Chains A and B, each alone.
Chain A
Amino acid sequence: DAGVTQSPTHLIKTRGQHVTLRCSPISGHKSVSWYQQVLGQGPQFIFQYYEKEERGRGNFPDRFSARQFPNYSSELNVNALLLGDSALYLCASSSTGENYNEQFFGPGTRLTVL
């Protein structure tokens, strides 16, 4: 079975632009979470969606938004990009959305903002 997939793998944008990152969860998983990992730090939680509803939001500005589709795939959108948004963006999926479940992470999208 395929694991969590993310696209694109790498992306280069300039300040002020908008970006959309995509995530496909493991088949049968209904929960998707997004994380931002800046170089040298651990991942930071951005959003969790379960059954197309937002279940949790981290301490990120409103420039960050996300949604989950009926097939449980998800998009992360970031508007008005800043240099500080350069990071690895990770998507994770789990089966039931309950917090003690194992989460499965994708390989991430490397975003560079120039």
Chain B
Amino acid sequence: DAKTTQPNSMESNEEEPVHLPCNHSTISGTDYIHWYRQLPSQGPEYVIHGLTSNVNNRMASLAIAEDRKSSTLILHRATLRDAAVYYCIPRVRHFGNEKLTFGTGTRLTIIP
């Protein structure tokens, strides 16, 4: 599994954009980059995933570096509900292996 490096914690003001970085320099060419988050006292939930190009969905945007060695999860307008631990997870694409390898993630605190 590719190794990831994320800041242990970050803070952001409510209603401002948040950029959560992830380094995954050992990622292979076919690994997708997935992001999950875990709100307090809940199981993780899927946020977004991508391979090479930038991706957008209703929750967030994912910006992937051209060399794919890093990516950034962007929350366009943080709310208090976005306070969570965010995990960046490279995933090998092949059938039958659904294992998610979680690191320690980034704990995001939103300041009202």
Contacts and interface: CB of A to CB of B under 8 A. Distances in A.
B56 interface: no
B102 A31 contact: no
Q: Which of B42, B46, B98 has the most CB of A within 10 A?
A: B98
Interface stretch (B13-21, B61-69, B75-83, B89-97): B89-97
A48 B96 CA distance: 9
Interface of B: 32, 34, 41-46, 49, 85, 87, 91-105
Interface residues of A, number: 29
A100 to B, nearest CB: 5
A44 interface: yes
10 contacts: A33-B99, A43-B44, A45-B100, A55-B96, A99-B96, A100-B32, A100-B34, A103-B46, A105-B44, A107-B41
B87 A99 contact: no
B93 A99 contact: yes
B31 to A, nearest CB: 10
A81 interface: no
